[in-house]
Amino acid sequence: MLPTRALRDCLDGVIPGVVSTCAADGTPNVAYMSQGQYLDRQHLALSYQFFNRTRQNILANPRATLGLIHPQTAQQYRVHLTYQRTETTGPVFESMKAKLAGIASHTGMSGVFRLLGSDIYRIDRVEVVPGSTVAAPAPAMDGLSALRACMERLPASPDAESLLDALLDGLLEHFAIEHALVMMLDPGRSRLYTVASRGYETSGVGSEIPLGEGVIGVAARERVPIRISHMTSEYAYGRAMREGAEQRGLGDLLETAIPFPGLAAPGSQLAVPIPGAREPIGVLFVESPSDMRFSHADEDALVALATQVGGLFRLFLAELELGEETQPATGQPPHPEGAPLRVRHYPANDSVFLGDDYLIKGVAGSILWTLLKDHQALGRTQFSNRELRADPRVRLPDQSDNLEARLVLLHRRLAEHRACVQMEKTGRGRFRLVVDRPLELEDMDPGA
């Protein structure tokens, strides 16, 4: 049987593999491999960085032999391969490119190592080389039972916000992952926004990154997990994004008004798409100050968790569509006391400011403005997710849009801001608007 786990460990490890090939005239060539990636039981990919002798040989004679040493057991393997094709775009290429950037940075080879392509090989045979081995150390954690324990809590979550809490708490408790966040995709704007995080100085809820940017953006765009074992500035978030936004003007400045919460000096990062019906609904992202913190097994576990979270989000959506119509409760008209707070809404980007403080924009901003208008005009305090979904004023990009995630974002921003407006859950898919100060609503460009 193919030692899948061992091969993945070898390709993840710190001992470079050795590739031997033969030219058309039979002259052998031996070279060190920069990076290999396990794809499936029949395939692996090797990085193509230079048009070297190995490259010339496999184009003339597709057979290659890859020598590997297991990083824990010292068991040697020879993997007999046949070159199939080279990919220069797509998930395999992008995940190898990110990984290689980390390796290059770690080994002082930035600027030298550049991925030209991912050479896809068929695995013909794996040979276990006879020789001495050492016993592999017992794993510090049983990944499968940690996955089970973490997963068991998820379906009990009544809503999106508690689901994300259960996920991030579970990662800390069962996988000892201290720095994690979830970003959701805003498909209309090709951006991801943070809805939940753990282990950072500020939550960063509401912070945004463009699709395709860094490990999270690439994972979402390519729909593939991206795992970097040594960090590289090439995939870092931070100052460059902010400076770019400053040059583009105020609209983009708001996107960086809430800083991305990531570690300043991460060693390892892993971004896993949360699958939706078509495109990913978001990305689960974890990081650590240590190099080589996340293994292939961690990636497996996070993919399993993200898959379940994606399924539960779809379930929430289905429940919303099938749910009972709630009657808008009129309730007691609220009469808060105190000096009124000016609340401004800019329709161009649906940004909402409480006093002078920027709070939120986009769909979540549009939801808040709708709630406040109804509260002021009709004295309403009770709302349901379902009515918001159907409300044309909310301007959801399309019916499949993730309203749940927008509400999580809005709820958290209001809570973190200790705003005079808060949302309180009153049941599944229902909430109450609590306003403890008179508001002066001002639409800044009502004609727009």
d(CA 298, CA 292): 11
Q: Position 355: which residue type?
A: G
29 lies in the binding site for another protein (CB under 8 A): yes
Binding segment for another protein (CB under 8 A), chosen from 21-29, 83-91, 194-202, 219-227, is 21-29
The count of C-alpha atoms lying within 13 angstroms of the C-alpha of 206, restricted to the half-sphere facing its C-beta, is 27
128 lies in the binding site for another protein (CB under 8 A): no
User: Is there a contact between 228 and 291 (Cβ–Cβ < 8 Å)?
Assistant: no
Instruction: Choose, by CB under 8 A, the member of 7, 8, 34, 183 that binds another protein.
Output: 34
Q: Residue 322 corresponds to which tokens in the numbers above? A: 């099938």
137 lies in the binding site for another protein (CB under 8 A): no
74 lies in the binding site for another protein (CB under 8 A): yes
For another protein, the closer CB: 67 or 206:
67
d(CA 215, CA 116): 19
d(CA 382, CA 360): 21
341 lies in the binding site for another protein (CB under 8 A): no
84 lies in the binding site for another protein (CB under 8 A): no
Instruction: Choose, by CB under 8 A, the member of 65, 256, 295, 366 that binds another protein.
Output: 65
∠ Cα 165 312 214 (to 5°) = 65
134 lies in the binding site for another protein (CB under 8 A): yes
**Nearest-approach distance from CB 35 to another protein, in angstroms:** 12
d(CA 147, CA 443): 48
Q: Segment 350-409, which members bind another protein (CB under 8 A)? A: none
295 lies in the binding site for another protein (CB under 8 A): no
69 lies in the binding site for another protein (CB under 8 A): yes
The bridge status of strand 208-210 relative to strand 357-360 is unpaired
240 lies in the binding site for another protein (CB under 8 A): no
76 lies in the binding site for another protein (CB under 8 A): yes
- Map tokens 């006093």 to a residue: 355
197 lies in the binding site for another protein (CB under 8 A): no
Sign of CA dihedral 376, 382, 422, 320: negative
Q: Segment 164-183, which members bind another protein (CB under 8 A)? A: none
**Nearest-approach distance from CB 26 to another protein, in angstroms:** 5
Listed residue (136, 211, 205, 154) closest to 360, CA to CA: 205
For another protein, the closer CB: 124 or 442:
124
Instruction: Choose, by CB under 8 A, the member of 7, 36, 67, 313 that binds another protein.
Output: 67
Number of residues in the chain: 448
Q: How many other C-beta atoms lie within 10 A of the C-beta of residue 284? A: 27
28 lies in the binding site for another protein (CB under 8 A): yes
The string of DSSP codes covering 74-107 is --EEEEEEEEEEEE-SSHHHHHHHHHHHHHHHHT
**Nearest-approach distance from CB 3 to another protein, in angstroms:** 16
Q: Which residues bind another protein (CB under 8 A)?
A: 14, 18, 20-22, 26-32, 34, 49-50, 52-53, 61, 63-65, 67, 69, 72, 74, 76, 78, 80, 107, 109, 112-113, 129-134
